[in-house]
Amino acid sequence: MQAPSLAELSSLIINCHKCPLSESRSHPVVGGGNIHSKIMIVGEGPGAHEDMSGEAFIGPAGQLLDKMMKYAGIDRTNAFLTNVVKCFPPENRTPRPAEVKACLDFLRMQYLLQHPQLIICLGAVASKAMINQEFSIMRQHGQIQEKKGILFVPTFHPAALLRDPEKKPLAYEDWKTIKKVIEEKGLRG
């Protein structure tokens, strides 16, 4: 698959009507940060704040993500943040399999455009889409996975941590692993 330019890809996403999510969205969310970074962060889908603005990870979950990224030595200038689905699922529900499938080509194109060396998967939807359909976030979070020379580190989605703060210590351990990978691989900047 040939990757289009970021502008071409953005246009494809903005004009997409491959699934019912396009009917209820306010703004599709392409992603944000540095598309030339060695680090890609993939979430599930935009929330209500992102849907209203078209910007990635700006709501409460995004604010928590910024804190976790800062701990690991990452900011938005040295990572690209995106989601599996590019449109807000109504009532913030989990994206349906057909919706994920409709958006996977966009995620693949972002990957091909970026060529990251580390992909941080936020939550079960991202981990299943990026690592393995049988992936279990509860059993496998924080475990480094490698596919075709790319490192994947799955952790809890920040929105899940806001709903269930008892998972924060587990996520903290995951982000310690992420920080170590970044330092060992020299992935800052």
Q: Could you state, in order of their start, the residue ranges of all structural domains in the chain?
A: 6-183
4 confidence band (pLDDT: 50, 70, 90): confident
pLDDT of amino acid 189: 52
Model pTM score: 0.96
- Two structure tokens written together for 142: 């924080």
d(CA 22, CA 89): 9
Share of the chain above pLDDT 90, in %: 94
Q: What is the overall mean pLDDT for the chain?
A: 95
Q: What are residue 32's DSSP bridge partners? A: 81
pLDDT tens profile 137-155: 999 999 999 999 999 999 9
**C-alpha angle 29-117-158 in degrees, rounded to nearest 5:** 45
Burial class (CB in 10 A: 0-12, 13-18, 19+), 141: buried
CATH class of 6-183: alpha beta
pLDDT tens profile 111-134: 999 999 999 999 999 999 999 999
At CB < 8 A and 24+ separation, what contacts does 50-59 make? 50/88, 51/25, 51/26, 51/27, 51/87, 51/88, 52/26, 52/27, 53/27, 54/26, 54/27, 54/28, 54/29, 54/30, 55/29, 56/29, 56/30, 56/31, 56/32, 56/81, 56/82, 56/83, 57/32, 57/81
Cβ(33)–Cβ(80) under 8 Å?
A: yes
